[in-house]
Amino acid sequence: MPHQTGAENVHAIQYHQHTLILLDQRKLPHEETYLHFKNASGIATAITDMVVRGAPAIGISAAFGIALEARLQINLPALNLRDAFTVLAASRPTAVNLFWALKKMKEAMNDCASLNMSEQVAFLEETAHTILNDDIKNNHIMGDLGASLIDSGSQVYTHCNAGALATGGYGTALGVIRSAHAQKKITHVYAGETRPWLQGARLTAWELMADNIPVTLSCEGAAGQLLRQGSVKWIIVGADRVSSNGDVANKIGTYNLAVLAKYHDVKVMVVAPSSTFDLSIESGDLIPIEARDEHEVTHIQGIQMAPKACPAINPSFDITPRELIAAIVCEQGIILEPNKEKIMAMLGNTEKESR
Amino acid sequence: MPHQTGAENVHAIQYHQHTLILLDQRKLPHEETYLHFKNASGIATAITDMVVRGAPAIGISAAFGIALEARLQINLPALNLRDAFTVLAASRPTAVNLFWALKKMKEAMNDCASLNMSEQVAFLEETAHTILNDDIKNNHIMGDLGASLIDSGSQVYTHCNAGALATGGYGTALGVIRSAHAQKKITHVYAGETRPWLQGARLTAWELMADNIPVTLSCEGAAGQLLRQGSVKWIIVGADRVSSNGDVANKIGTYNLAVLAKYHDVKVMVVAPSSTFDLSIESGDLIPIEARDEHEVTHIQGIQMAPKACPAINPSFDITPRELIAAIVCEQGIILEPNKEKIMAMLGNTEKESR
């Protein structure tokens, strides 16, 4: 489908007939396989195993996980979702959107506690749908905001996949790229392949090719030489968590790019909805960084590359300090040269409201 | 064998009974397959296809290619090696050791022109053996020189493979690491996996594990975060060509590391024998950079990773400007903060002598 209609509106997360349907992102770009989920623990495993990945997409999936678990209890006297919340919260540690979405679902649960069971379940399903739909809406808003920063005729570089596949649809970083390309501001996109999981090669290239946005793949090692050539004007990435001072946790390799960008006077744009901000954390160094299995580095598609028993580090994310970031684009506005004051001014009230 | 005796003395290039025997580096670390060559064009193809790789190893193999081609002509009235020189010179463009070795062989050819055919062939074989043996000897000298720069208890990071496999034996960058580890100066080595060809994962990890030198593999994208942690004191790499001002062409990704090193106050050491210096080239930007097939990026071990027809850049090398390099270690000495004056002072005469 995406290859006929474009990937802009690909829906990696669908909810039909009380079933969460996830596009299995481990099989892309060669196979479009959809997996069906009916309960929270199945969705938690899907998140851990990266059937679905990307900070907003993880949050949305977890929200539906709570709704599904509620539906399984529709004939019981009362909802007991404690285990569902626990298993989903333990699925991955870094992306705060997961915890944000679970908090939203808990609030919804409290809000509807006086309704009958059937109404409660319907309310939780509606809340999950709202999280999904708001995410898509916000991505379009951020797309336009981010595009407003980009000069005509620019080449840009993106890392990992912050696209339709990583969100409810349209994408964060790729949302900006889509909007700016539609406005003829972006002429070419370089996609870092993003070892070890190759999100760039497998997912971002797939999305951009399907949308006829010119894309060229690059190994991470070639980024410095590419930036040195001078055509790339922006590094555009998503985020998994933004601390209150503006430090950004994102896919491993983002920090490299930010340092390279600084050295070459290239600007870094982080595109992240307000659900990605964690105002309870003062700085990036306090964000928990997931260490994934060494086999993701030593093996590729099940084939062993490194010698047997070769140790490897596999941090899934790194921290880019705010000094290296030119702009954070959020659905509530653009934060240039982010710092705590600017972030609290824009998002401090939202946070309070939701508490 | 290497797993029993250590890889320190692994001989990826052997010459027995008028046959060049190359360890097929495409099959490592899982298979130790040796391929046999009897003529220049076979060796040229082996260099192009990366059966043998690494700047010094390419030069040594090419020298034996000339000797072998001469032996095939032993019953002719005179040597005609023009085609052999041409095909070998065209095998790969960036590593200057190839052209250096071919020049040595051409000089040898001229030197022995008055001898009979059998003596000429023997002289060329001897010359190739001398190139091989000098390379190993120089690597041990550089190993000690480089180790003298390293403080006790250091962790280091290396990129690609500049080891026994890339040279006649012992290695350039890995020679320094071997010497410094033997002197208990290096406690741990991080090996960058080195996409797309994975020399770090497949070759460097294999060499160091065989020698019981503690090694941990890292994706290129994780290097910045690793350096930020502060334990790594040196980036140690080889080189494919050094211009007269001290700029260094080396495996793609080296420039990234050098910029990251600068940002984190980590020092960069380039270990390269005098045969790697090209004093005819004023600066790195004039060094020809090989662009290899896009499939090396889009496919891994024959498996397609990126979408069909996805374009990719695949520059095999990049240029690290001299300002980012703390030391170039050559068998003739250490050049701290390299520049043209220092390089010409150390190597200018050698170059003149050999002309």
Classified as helix, coil or strand, B218 is strand
- Judged by CB atoms closer than 8 Å, whether chains meet at A259 and B255 is answered as no
Between the CA of residue A115 and those of A79, A131, A278, what are the distances in Å?
11, 21, 32
pLDDT digits (tens, 9 = 90+) for A134-156: 999 999 999 999 999 999 999 99
Q: Name the region of A94 (left: φ>0; alpha: ψ -120 to 50; beta: rest).
A: alpha
Q: Which residues, including other chains, have CB under 8 Å from residue B116's CB and lie 6 or more apart? A: none
d(CA B215, CA B217): 7
Residues of B with CB below 8 A from A255's CB? Answer: 224-225, 228
Reported CATH class of domain A144-354? alpha beta
The partner residue sitting opposite A219, judged by closest CB among B195, B303, B319, is B195
φ and ψ at residue A148, rounded to 5 degrees: -65, -20
Average pLDDT for chain B: 95
d(CA B81, CA B120): 12
Q: Which residues, including other chains, have CB under 8 Å from residue B234's CB and lie 6 or more apart? A: B149, B150, B154, B156, B157, B266, B267, B268, B269
In contact, B254 and B221? CB cutoff 8 Å: no
CA distance A343 to chain B (A): 25
User: Confidence band (pLDDT; 50, 70, 90) for B1?
Assistant: very low
What DSSP element (H or E) covers A97?
Answer: helix A96-111
d(CA B297, CA B301): 10
Topology (CATH level 3) of domain B7-139: Four Helix Bundle (Hemerythrin (Met), subunit A) (1.20.120)
- Rg of chain B (C-alpha set): 20
Express the helix, strand and coil content of chain B in percent, nearest 5 each: 45, 20, 35
Cα three-residue angle B237-B243-B245, rounded to 5 degrees? 100
Q: Which residues, including other chains, have CB under 8 Å from residue A352's CB and lie 6 or more apart? A: none
pLDDT at res. A7: 76
CA distance B253 to chain A (A): 4
d(CA A312, CA B217): 4
What is the DSSP secondary-structure string of B43-60? HHHHHHTTSS-SHHHHHH
d(CA B127, CA B104): 8
d(CA B120, CA B67): 9
Q: Which residues, including other chains, have CB under 8 Å from residue A323's CB and lie 6 or more apart? A: none
pLDDT at res. A350: 65
Mean of pLDDT values over B201-215 = 97
Tallying the residues shown for chain B, one arrives at 355
Query: Does the pLDDT at position B57 exceed 80?
Result: yes
Residues of B with CB below 8 A from A263's CB? Answer: 259, 262-263
d(CA B68, CA A355): 79
Q: How many CB atoms lie within 10 A of CB B166?
A: 30
- Judged by CB atoms closer than 8 Å, whether chains meet at A225 and B300 is answered as no
- Judged by CB atoms closer than 8 Å, whether chains meet at B256 and A218 is answered as no
pLDDT digits (tens, 9 = 90+) for A111-121: 999 999 999 99
Give me A334's structure tokens: 């653009």
| Look-up of token digits 């991955």 | A92
Considering only residues B350 and B232, tell me which one the structure prediction assigns the higher pLDDT.
Answer: B232
The partner residue sitting opposite B318, judged by closest CB among A215, A225, A319, is A225
d(CA A35, CA B35): 47
Give me B341's structure tokens: 């004056």
pLDDT by residue, tens only, chain A of 355 residues: 344 457 776 789 999 999 999 999 999 999 999 999 999 999 999 999 999 999 999 999 999 999 999 999 999 999 999 999 999 999 999 999 999 999 999 999 999 999 999 999 999 999 999 999 999 999 999 999 999 999 999 999 999 999 999 999 999 999 999 999 999 999 999 999 999 999 999 999 999 999 999 999 999 999 999 999 999 999 999 999 999 999 999 999 999 999 999 999 999 999 999 999 999 999 999 999 999 999 999 999 889 999 999 999 999 999 999 999 999 999 999 999 999 999 999 998 865 544 3
In contact, A180 and A171? CB cutoff 8 Å: no
DSSP letter for B307, please: P
Please write down the HEC assignment for all residues of B153-172: CEEEEECCCCCHHHCCCCCC
- Judged by CB atoms closer than 8 Å, whether chains meet at B193 and A255 is answered as no
CA-CA-CA-CA torsion for B62, B65, B67, B70, nearest 10 degrees?
Answer: -140
The partner residue sitting opposite A221, judged by closest CB among B209, B253, B311, is B253
Determine the residue of chain B that is closest to A318 in CA distance.
B225
Q: Which residues, including other chains, have CB under 8 Å from residue B314's CB and lie 6 or more apart? A: A219, A222, B196, B291, B292, B293, B294, B296, B297
State the catalytic residues of A. Answer: 240
The partner residue sitting opposite A306, judged by closest CB among B195, B205, B311, is B205
Residues of A with CB below 8 A from B29's CB? Answer: 306-307
Q: Name the region of A219 (left: φ>0; alpha: ψ -120 to 50; beta: rest).
A: beta
Query: Does the pLDDT at position B70 exceed 60?
Result: yes
pLDDT at res. B349: 80
Size of interface A-B (CB pairs under 8 A): 178
pLDDT at res. B7: 76
Q: Name the region of A246 (left: φ>0; alpha: ψ -120 to 50; beta: rest).
A: left
Q: What is the largest CA-CA distance in chain B?
A: 66
| Look-up of token digits 């996409």 | B195
pLDDT digits (tens, 9 = 90+) for B153-180: 999 999 999 999 999 999 999 999 999 9
The partner residue sitting opposite A218, judged by closest CB among B198, B224, B312, is B312
CA distance A353 to chain B (A): 35
Q: Which residues, including other chains, have CB under 8 Å from residue B85's CB and lie 6 or more apart? A: B66, B102, B105, B106
* Residue B5 burial class via C-beta count within 10 angstroms: exposed 0-12, middle 13-18, buried 19 and up: exposed
Residues of B with CB below 8 A from A194's CB? Answer: 221
CA distance B274 to chain A (A): 25
Residues of B with CB below 8 A from A195's CB? Answer: 193, 195, 219-221
Residues of A with CB below 8 A from B314's CB? Answer: 219, 222
For chain B, domain boundaries: 7-139, 144-354
DSSP letter for B63, please: H
CA distance A314 to chain B (A): 7
d(CA A293, CA A40): 23
